[in-house]
Amino acid sequence: MSAYDLVGRSVLVTGGAGGIGEATARLMVLRGARVMLADRVERVREVADAIAPGTGWVVADVCTTDGAAAAVGAAVAYGGGLDVLVNGAGWDNPALFCDTSSTLWDQIIAVNFTSVLGCCQAGLPHLGANRGAIVSIASDLARVGGWGEAVYAGAKAAVVAFSKSLAREVARDGVRVNCVSPAITRTAFEQRMREDPVGVRIVEGAIRATPMRRAAEPDEIAEAIGFLASDAAGFVTGQVLSVNGGVVM
C-alpha cells in the first residue's frame, strides 16, 4: 500500500457536480476511498453514477449551516465516519467592483467562504475522531488579487486565513488543514467566463501571464488535493499549495 492510497477512507467532496470537485472524487475513488459528493444541483447524481457504481451523492446547499450539516451527515452515514473533507464548492460572477451589488457580494461570500465554515464546523467532531484532513480550494487571487474579481479574491483570502487559524486550533487533535490554490483551470466555469466580456479578459489575461501558457486541467488540481488528503502529507498542515503553472511564484 502506498502512502498516497486512501483505501477505506470516508471522503466528502463539496461542489462535486463538476470541475475540480468531480476530478477529485474520481481520483479518490480510484485510490480506494468511499466518496460522498455534495452539490446543490441535481446533476450530482449523474456525476456520482458516472464515477463508479455506488459512489455516494447528496443534493445539499452547503452555503447554509443546515445544508452543510446534511452533507456531512450523509458522508458519515455512507462511509461509517469521516476522514477527509474537501471544500470544493466555488462560484464567481466577474465584474468590476463598482458595478457589483451587495446581493452579489453575499452570494460570492456564501459559496466560497461560508460553505467552508459550515462544513468544517459540522465535520470536525468526526474528523477529530479519525485524525482526519481538511483540504479547501482557495485561489492564487487570494495572494495577488484579480481584476474583475475583487470580492471573489477577498473570499478566497478569507479561506486561506481561516484554514491557517483552524490548523493551529486542531493540530493537537490530529486533524490537518490545508489549502490547494489553483490559477485558471479548464472547467465549465472557465467556459462560462469566456461568454462574458469581463470574464474573457480575465481568462485570456491569466493564460498569457502563465509561464506554462495554458490553463490547468482539473485532474492536475485533484492530484494536489489527493496528496494533502493522504498519509504522504502526514506532517503538512496550515499550508497553501499553489498549482498554477508558475503564474505566481
Report, as residue numbers or ranges, the catalytic residues: 152
CA 76, CA 130: separation in Å to the nearest integer? 12
Where do we find the cell 483540504? 135
Among 27, 25, 71, 31, residue whose Cα is nearest residue 48: 25
**What phi, psi does 14 have (nearest 5°)?**
-85, 160
DSSP of 81-139: S-SEEEE---------GGG--HHHHHHHHIIIIIHHHHHHHHHHHHHHHHT-EEEEE--
Distance between CA atoms of residues 155 and 237, nearest Å:
21
The burial of 148, by beta-carbon neighbours within 10 Å (0-12 exposed, 13-18 middle, 19 or more buried), is given as buried
Q: Which residues pair with 86 in a beta bridge?
A: 13, 135
